[in-house]
Amino acid sequence: MTSDKIDRVIDEQLDILKEEKYKLRTFQIQLLLKIDATRGVEETLQDVRSIGGVTVVTALDSTYRNSSSAYFSHIRVKFHPQKDTTTPRTFIKDHLLPVIRSSEIPDTTVVRIIGVPEQVQ
């Protein structure tokens, strides 16, 4: 192999490494939320979007139940952990769920986590 070819291969590999270094690790998880009817689905989804590290929140389905005066919303949350050492499960357990369950997102209960976190990028 000539020195020009070696240099080209090294440059290509360095470019790949640089891209990987700055690539954002993005994951998604699906949740089933119970949202009090006085609160409203869209308002609650806006609050979830404001959580640090959350990038996109999509309502997949919402059903109103008279018996509980609440909406049951199946949502998808895309997020990226701020630190490379934070796993998606840790982000969900230690950050996402506690904020949704807190007073920052009023009248909302996490009924179920659907599936496991998936990497989307």
Question: With 0-12 CB in 10 A as exposed, 13-18 as middle and 19+ as buried, what is 34?
Answer: middle
Domain boundaries defined on the chain:
27-119
Say how far apart CA 75 and CA 35 lie, in whole Å.
Answer: 12
Q: Is the dihedral of CA 108, 111, 113, 114 positive or negative?
A: negative
Answer whether 73's CB lies under 8 Å from 35's CB.
Answer: yes
| pLDDT score of 20 more than 70 | no
Average of per-residue pLDDT across 48-61: 94
Q: Greater confidence, 68 or 94?
A: 94
| pLDDT score of 70 more than 90 | yes
| pLDDT score of 83 more than 80 | yes
> In CATH, what class is 27-119?
alpha beta
